[in-house]
Amino acid sequence: MTRNLDYRVEVLCPISDPDAQKMLQDILDQQWHDNVKARELDSEQINRMVPAGKSIKIRSQETIHRYLTTGKLPRYPKSVMRKPARRRRKTKKKS
């Protein structure tokens, strides 16, 4: 199947509404966590399925539809990071 990469138009605009920002972020998170129908397109234009692994199965098209109709987010797989990142605090020097 050919891709419409030559004549496609993409538009960016700022999203200032916090509710719309949250909804968009939730949808993007679901797409990033898709491990059922996800595919990778390599430099040679070969379209390969991403291996699902043993984690919770997330199919983004179904979970996004469920999210938009009910407002419920899916359970995401546990992070592969061992510990969450911590923010470093600046300490005040004693004078």
pLDDT of residue 75: 82
Contact status, residue 57 vs residue 30, Cβ threshold 8 Å: no
Nearest-10 crossing angle of helices 60-70, 18-32: 150
Domain assignment of residue 62, yes or no? yes
Domain assignment of residue 77, yes or no? no
pTM for the structure as a whole:
0.63
pLDDT of residue 10: 86
Number of domains in the chain: 1
Domain assignment of residue 40, yes or no? yes
Range of the domain at 25: 18-70
Total Cβ atoms within 10 A of residue 54: 6
pLDDT one-digit tens code per residue, 14-44:
999 999 999 999 999 888 888 888 888 888 8
pLDDT of residue 37: 80
pLDDT category of residue 88 using cuts at 50, 70 and 90 = low
